[in-house]
Amino acid sequence: MKKSVRLPAFAKINLRLHVLDRKADGYHELRTIFQAISLHDTLELWSSASREISIEIDHSDLPADSTNLVWRAIDILYRELRLKQGIRARLTKRIPVARGLGGGSSDAAAALLGTLRLTGHELPLPRLLEVASSLGADVPFFLFGGRALGVNRGDEIYPLPDGRRQTVLVVSPHDVSVSTKDAYACVDERLTSGAIAPKIWGFCALCWSRQGSGIANDFEDAVFHRHPRLRQIKRALLQGGAAEAALAGSGSAVFGVFQSPAQARRAARAFPKDEVFVTRTLSREEYRRALLQRAVV
């Protein structure tokens, strides 16, 4: 039997997301607080005698070739580590695609970690972070999970203390899709030139506010203006009992924070035509244990 590795690839929400000016390299300066949640894809890897990389995906909208982030992540390590064996991957999707939940980035991070474990190799953390960042701005966060501050493009990660466990209802509308490119185009129309970056300590402290108002996303005004249904979903979540609600990343999923899974399930009945997921926040230790427990099959 060939050695194999099986890893969960968890989704994320952004508890806070502040967009600053566009930089000279074309990217925007960000301040964001990532939070891992229990909704996840599953990635399985096998060693192969073919000396090739292959990938199988159960989602018809995603490419199963060299343009896929999982394939690219494996290929980078394949060349970096000068691997002799091939690697076969199978990705089972559950995180909705292009909804701001970081599914593709998380799959790429799982591919990096899984390839290292499958082959028994190690990579110095600074180099692993560099590789992760080259694949996407969110990918470094998914190497650690939990709650973290992201600055620069969101790829410079600083772990934060975990908040209390919370139930999160994610609503992914079937009739609205917002690409990251379009989301930034929307926010650029309303971005105030020369916006001042918030003080880091104050920006992070708001997420522990007992009075609410800690969750915020600068994409909302612009994206909601173009896609009014997303504003309606947020309003329905709040009317359904959510303590707070916000656009997930650059959208188009919207999430609400609830006191209990039962309350979230009741609120989910308001969205019969959409995909809904009752999930919860994951601490950094829970995230780490989940990856380790399911690492080797």
User: What percent helix, strand, coil does the chain show, rounded to 5?
Assistant: 35, 30, 35
Residue 122 reports pLDDT greater than 80:
yes
Residue 264 has what pLDDT? 98
Catalytic positions are: 12, 138
Tell me the C-alpha distance between 88 and 62, whole Å.
Answer: 17
The CATH code belonging to domain 4-161+284-293 is 3.30.230.10
215-to-15, 69, 159, 188, 242 alpha-carbon distances in Å:
5, 29, 18, 21, 12
| Boundaries of every domain in the chain | 4-161+284-293, 167-280
Q: What is the mean pLDDT of residues 65-94?
A: 93
| No. of helices (H) and no. of strands (E), the chain | 9, 11
Other C-beta atoms closer than 10 Å to the C-beta of 211 total: 6
Q: Which amino acid is at 241?
A: G
272-to-86, 162, 174, 237, 245 alpha-carbon distances in Å:
44, 33, 11, 13, 19
Which DSSP symbol is given to 140? G
Reported as type and span, the H/E element at residue 71 is helix 69-80
Query: How does residue 10 score in pLDDT terms, banded at 50, 70 and 90?
Result: very high
Structure-block tokens of residue 253: 């999923």
- The top-level CATH class assigned to 167-280 is alpha beta
Residue 61 has what pLDDT? 79
Least confident range of 143-157, 184-198, 279-293: 184-198
